[in-house]
Structure 1
């Protein structure tokens, strides 16, 4: 029983006593009955019991106060109060903050909905817990034990942007602890400041220690894909980005160097902390729970240095949209996985900007994907044309290559030498058909990273697909196929069929035989299993890309026939009759001869 409860009981007893003395009616005096020994003993027992209870209550109240004073010292009075919840809100987010500890209790992203169309709570007090601790003369002081007095004010800058500032203060005659939160219109960033005013010798720590645990709430229907794309990311003050992996096992790491920011980044949204200066003594932990309502369990502990009793940092509560994150701080856009360095440039500098431009004119993202395919294929058309011509040349000289195989088939080195001579004489390069295709590969692979992380496609429908950011279920199977699933994605099926048709058409243009020819049919089937549970937008992009490529090659074939290509080959053959070998060709032949001689020895 605390002091408030004891005071309430005493006041309640006083009211009853006053009422009985002054307002109760006088009862009739009954006849006096002789008092028995049992009644006397009972009355004495009740009186003793009441006295004991009163003594115990006073003792407990006194002990509680003494314990509180021993634990908190001069700050003890700040641990008594009533909790209030306060809200900072703009057009994008709603942040609920408690007056007890100045803890962020809930964050709602107003522009977005969860997969079941409920409000998207990035986290709440059941899923997330933050503890700020500072050293005091009585030991570690948990700020969540203190009650703060709130005040909110709104300001407007010269450009008309309004900013709400919530200030929470708690103090005694010896000093104050002040925490404030600021949220500007049109921003996902909440700036927080912490200040110790006076309290010399009372607050002894020179750093604020944070412990943050978060059970990342599932906001997407495809839990497996969400877990693949959910990571605990961080960025060092030296400019290095890293994260814990995407595995299901418990992962822990202690970061030896200061960091600039740490982010609990799920597939499309992030909750992060960004230092004004740096965070130190950082430890991070990540694991995957069995609970399907939770994507991952994440935790971090770190210290925030105090300078003259002050510290500051910024929360980011918002979407993982590349252009939005890029404006936050250095390296923050890396929360969106754009792929490895040899393909990420395609996404960062081309695809992201194309999407942003086309969004101004089109609202249907299926149409936007089709337009992006056409624009990329148009830009890469010269490479496609060169690839087609290169493969066509190899096709028309196939009779000469077959003759060499019959003549030198048993001597691989001699066969290679004679092939090189033939290619030089006919003006044909064996890599002329492959190199343009290789140059197009970054665009093909870039999409494999872009579409699974494109928040622009989230909950956007097209044709039968209700959400382009997850797989389209054309119909469900009554059983589960290993590595495939229990549903059929129609866009993935169309992509597979189109790739097989394209492979068949391509084999007519090349000299591929045997295993290489069959590999072209096996790969689409393998990708059908892989992509069946990937976003519908990705499969749709590959399907449209295959169809456009098929159309380009069919168009090229109308204007470029084999007879014209053969004529060019014969023309090159006539020109190169007396052509001397190039230094590169001579060195290559010498190397091949040396290799053959070494092999024979």
Structure 2
């Protein structure tokens, strides 16, 4: 053994010896320990030990509530689950927090074929925050006692023998998507401080659809003030919103095609909602809602509410009442009115025949094109007139020159006036059709009925058909190529080509028409196949309409009519509104020129 080892061992012995000496128990402590051992031995032997001489004859009884604090017996426990279900929903309850732990929407599957579970796990929180004795108690942290009776689940947390909190859930109908929910506070007025209590609801949305980006794009918390239209937080960014403008009729955690909605019998006083975009795999967004419930210091206080857990199908939500159908985005004004009162009723009517949804979209497109055919015809005739006038317009341009744009425009306007042509006649019918084209941009991406419906090679009309998967991301295009989007783009290019032949477009206007379809290829590549399918059909039918109109219209006859109009005296010409405004414009221009000459 070397010197260093010996020195170390010697110092350790000194430390141990000192510890035994200085920390030796006192005589009183040793006596108390002997009495404890004697007491334990007597209890094991089944005899009652005599009370030590220095202890009182009877020790006071200590209440467990005083030892553990509020809800002492509910602070710790073992988490267990219970299930309520009907043909529409499967609800899994947790005794920790007395809450609905997860919700499965039956008969619906996620994009990978698993059951649709709206929320699950520890990220889902629901409960009250109570101010008791200056301390904030969260029921989400308590262990409730669960009692199931038929389709009813009662969760109770006892503050004491005659004071408790009770959450009562009920599935009242065999196929119901709504769940009754009552909060009962019994005797809690003796311990709860303040005149209101807080209800907290938090959840993390789980991915259900093929396109994570699209699901985030159409998911947001919604809320509705009493006597006001529903509103929502941002779809594209994290946001918080204080709800204090009026009483709150309901709060909805809306996902793309599914929603969880909390509807109180008596509106909430005020609250706040929050949304956060999540980046973890399989997660869409995180929602938080906090609302205030009035506490009137009654011995028994009840709060009646209900949940809606289900699909964002317009008809189903409308049956729930309270304008829940407005969770389905139909676009901005006037697009939402076109979708709600024109497109949706026609779609529902066709749906009643039980056809495949690809066929329904086809018939819907044909019906709309027939209704809009007068506008298409008028647009074609106007463009044909402009094409026939082009040689005369070229002569005017050669005569006046391109440098004097004002004079050139005036000469064009004179020509239009002479032949009775409205240069905007071809654009106005197209502009009138534009709201319908834009309305479908909102209609199909939010149409639940298309979810999971296949047609031809498209397995799901509610999302993109990734006919070609790149395995990597291509700028502007993405990680796939949608065949229906490609067909839509090709049809648009063909339509543009023939449209230029009809209108006689030249220069920049001619090439802009070819650029736009390419731009839309990048934009619509990630949009639902059903939307691209509609645009493809609309292009092909418009092309067919124009081909039919072209075979019926004689350009020479139109040219002769324009010549006859040119020969008519000015007073015999029937002026259109455009021509009236044109005359006013020309008079104003003439007055300006006259004034400029005077000033010189």
Q: Which deviates further from its counterpart, 448-457 or 174-183?
A: 174-183
Q: How does 1:105-504 map to 2 (within 5 A)?
A: 105-137=101-133, 139-144=135-140, 145=142, 147-153=144-150, 164-169=151-156, 173-183=161-171, 184-248=173-237, 250-257=238-245, 258-306=247-295, 309-409=301-401, 410-477=403-470, 479-504=472-497
Listed one character per residue, the Cα deviations across residues 206-236 of structure 1 (whole Å, up to 9, x for unaligned) are 4331222211101112111111111122222
Unaligned segments of structure 1, at least 5 residues? 1-43, 56-61, 154-163
**1: CA distance between counterparts of 2:102 and 2:34?**
51
- Distance change (3 Å), C-alpha of 1:571 and 1:70: farther
- Distance change (3 Å), C-alpha of 1:440 and 1:199: same
1:69 to 60, 63, 66: 66
Indicate the SS of the match to 1:452.
coil
Q: Which deviates further from its counterpart, 488-497 or 118-127?
A: 118-127
Listed one character per residue, the Cα deviations across residues 89-130 of structure 1 (whole Å, up to 9, x for unaligned) are 222112223345431111110020111111111111334111
Residue in structure 2 matched with residue 156 of structure 1 by the alignment: none
- Distance change (3 Å), C-alpha of 1:402 and 1:470: same
Indicate the SS of the match to 1:380.
helix
Indicate the SS of the match to 2:550.
helix
**2: CA distance between counterparts of 1:390 and 1:49?**
113
**2: CA distance between counterparts of 1:267 and 1:478?**
26
CA contact (8 A) 1:80 1:147 kept: no
- Distance change (3 Å), C-alpha of 1:593 and 1:313: farther
**1: CA distance between counterparts of 2:508 and 2:523?**
22
Once the 2 structures are TM-superposed, how far is the Cα of residue 81 of structure 1 from its aligned partner?
Answer: 7.0
Q: CA RMSD in A?
A: 3.2
Once the 2 structures are TM-superposed, how far is the Cα of residue 143 of structure 1 from its aligned partner?
Answer: 2.8
**2: CA distance between counterparts of 1:118 and 1:50?**
61
Unaligned segments of structure 2, at least 5 residues? 1-29, 42-58
Indicate the SS of the match to 1:453.
coil
- Distance change (3 Å), C-alpha of 1:49 and 1:219: farther
Indicate the SS of the match to 1:361.
coil
2:541 to 548, 559, 566: 548
**2: CA distance between counterparts of 1:593 and 1:292?**
69
CA contact (8 A) 1:338 1:344 kept: yes
**2: CA distance between counterparts of 1:598 and 1:490?**
62
**1: CA distance between counterparts of 2:497 and 2:39?**
94
Indicate the SS of the match to 1:588.
helix
1:588 to 560, 585, 590: 585
Compute the TM-score of the two structures, normalised by the length of structure 1: 0.82
- Distance change (3 Å), C-alpha of 1:405 and 1:102: same
Listed one character per residue, the Cα deviations across residues 327-360 of structure 1 (whole Å, up to 9, x for unaligned) are 3343422322211112111211122222222222
CA contact (8 A) 2:98 2:146 kept: no
Q: Which deviates further from its counterpart, 122-131 or 570-579?
A: 570-579
CA contact (8 A) 1:149 1:170 kept: no
Once the 2 structures are TM-superposed, how far is the Cα of residue 483 of structure 1 from its aligned partner?
Answer: 1.2
- Distance change (3 Å), C-alpha of 1:577 and 1:477: same
Q: How does 1:532-543 map to 2 (within 5 A)?
A: 532-543=525-536
- Distance change (3 Å), C-alpha of 1:392 and 1:352: same
- Distance change (3 Å), C-alpha of 1:214 and 1:176: closer
**2: CA distance between counterparts of 1:509 and 1:52?**
112
Once the 2 structures are TM-superposed, how far is the Cα of residue 509 of structure 1 from its aligned partner?
Answer: 0.6
CA contact (8 A) 2:79 2:143 kept: no
| Count of residues in Structure 1 that have an aligned counterpart in Structure 2 | 539
Compute the TM-score of the two structures, normalised by the length of structure 2: 0.82
Q: Which deviates further from its counterpart, 137-146 or 431-440?
A: 137-146
Once the 2 structures are TM-superposed, how far is the Cα of residue 583 of structure 1 from its aligned partner?
Answer: 5.6
Residue in structure 2 matched with residue 528 of structure 1 by the alignment: 521
Indicate the SS of the match to 1:341.
coil
Indicate the SS of the match to 1:327.
helix
CA contact (8 A) 2:181 2:305 kept: yes
Indicate the SS of the match to 1:475.
strand
**1: CA distance between counterparts of 2:38 and 2:90?**
52
Q: Which deviates further from its counterpart, 84-93 or 365-374?
A: 84-93
Listed one character per residue, the Cα deviations across residues 40-75 of structure 1 (whole Å, up to 9, x for unaligned) are xxxx9xx989959989xxxxxx9xx867436645x5
Listed one character per residue, the Cα deviations across residues 268-303 of structure 1 (whole Å, up to 9, x for unaligned) are 111121232322342222222221210112212221
Once the 2 structures are TM-superposed, how far is the Cα of residue 480 of structure 1 from its aligned partner?
Answer: 3.2
Q: Which deviates further from its counterpart, 191-200 or 75-84?
A: 75-84
**1: CA distance between counterparts of 2:135 and 2:290?**
19
Indicate the SS of the match to 1:498.
helix
